[in-house]
């Protein structure tokens, strides 16, 4: 009986956390997580904060600070400059898919059209999911206006 009570309490706690997260929009949820400081700065520089605080729903494949750190030295600093806003916007919108795509919905999907207008490849192999060359490391972080899936690399849109 004690185990059942403990499991029930744990489930209630997780449900409460999910409800709390769902009260925040995608931007506030990401900022609150603490591992998306570079992404938040990039969204600010590109002028996309208001959009991702909007009604949505959006699915965001969010690269962590560690993922941005894997880019060649100076890349992030260069992209954050005002004169590179269009390029930064193209990269960031390549990480966003219109609609709310939960992890369970990914099975059977092999590509998705991004807000950028270009397609991303989705590969499911067992319990591993890849978006282009990035591996999804956490899924279904629910926000009030969509969902976040954490990825371990910045994905770059194809040229042209």
The pLDDT of residue 10 is above 60: no
Mean pLDDT of 66-74: 96
User: Does some domain include residue 158?
Assistant: no
User: Does some domain include residue 147?
Assistant: yes
Mean pLDDT of 52-73: 96
User: Does some domain include residue 80?
Assistant: yes
Which residue spans within the chain are E strands per DSSP? 58-63, 96-98, 111-113, 119-125, 128-131, 134-143, 146-151
The tens digit of pLDDT for each residue in 93-149 reads 999 999 999 998 887 789 999 999 999 999 998 888 999 999 999 999 999 999 999
* Residue 21: closest CA among 148, 142, 140: 142
User: Does some domain include residue 156?
Assistant: no
Tokens of 44: 């600010």
User: Does some domain include residue 100?
Assistant: yes
User: Does some domain include residue 60?
Assistant: yes
User: Does some domain include residue 157?
Assistant: no
Q: Of 21-25, 44-48, 90-94, 138-142, which gets the smallest average pLDDT?
A: 21-25
Note the pLDDT of residue 65.
97
Residue 24: pLDDT band with limits 50, 70, 90: very high
10 Å Cβ neighbour count for 119?
15
Residue 160: pLDDT band with limits 50, 70, 90: low
Residue 22: pLDDT band with limits 50, 70, 90: low
pTM here is 0.84
Q: Which residue has the higher pLDDT, 7 or 105?
A: 105
Domain with 73 in it: 2-151
Mean pLDDT of 43-48: 95
Q: Tell me, what CATH number does 80's domain have?
A: 2.30.180.10
User: Does some domain include residue 144?
Assistant: yes
Note the pLDDT of residue 64.
97
* Residue 134: closest CA among 56, 67, 41: 67
Number of domains in the chain: 1
Q: What is the mean pLDDT of the chain?
A: 86
The pLDDT of residue 15 is above 80: no
* Residue 18: closest CA among 159, 139, 158: 139
Query: Are the beta carbons of 62 and 151 closer than 8 angstroms?
Result: yes
Query: Are the beta carbons of 25 and 144 closer than 8 angstroms?
Result: yes
- The percent of residues in the chain predicted with pLDDT above 90, rounded, is 77
């Amino acid at each position: 009986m004690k185990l059942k009570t403990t499991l029930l309490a744990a489930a209630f706690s997780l449900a409460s956390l999910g409800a709390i997260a769902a009260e925040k929009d995608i931007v506030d949820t990401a900022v609150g997580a603490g591992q998306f400081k570079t992404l938040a700065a990039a969204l600010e520089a590109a002028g996309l904060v208001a959009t991702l605080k909007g009604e949505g729903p959006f699915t965001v494949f969010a690269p962590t600070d560690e993922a941005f750190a894997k880019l060649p030295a100076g890349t992030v600093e260069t992209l954050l400059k005002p004169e590179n806003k269009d390029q930064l916007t193209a990269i960031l919108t390549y990480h966003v898919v219109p609609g709310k795509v939960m992890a369970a919905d990914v099975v059977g999907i092999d590509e998705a059209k991004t807000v950028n207008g270009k397609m991303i490849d989705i590969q499911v192999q067992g319990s591993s999911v890849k978006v282009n060359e990035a591996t999804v490391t956490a899924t279904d972080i629910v926000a009030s206006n969509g969902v976040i899936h954490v990825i371990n690399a910045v994905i770059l849109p194809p040229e042209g």
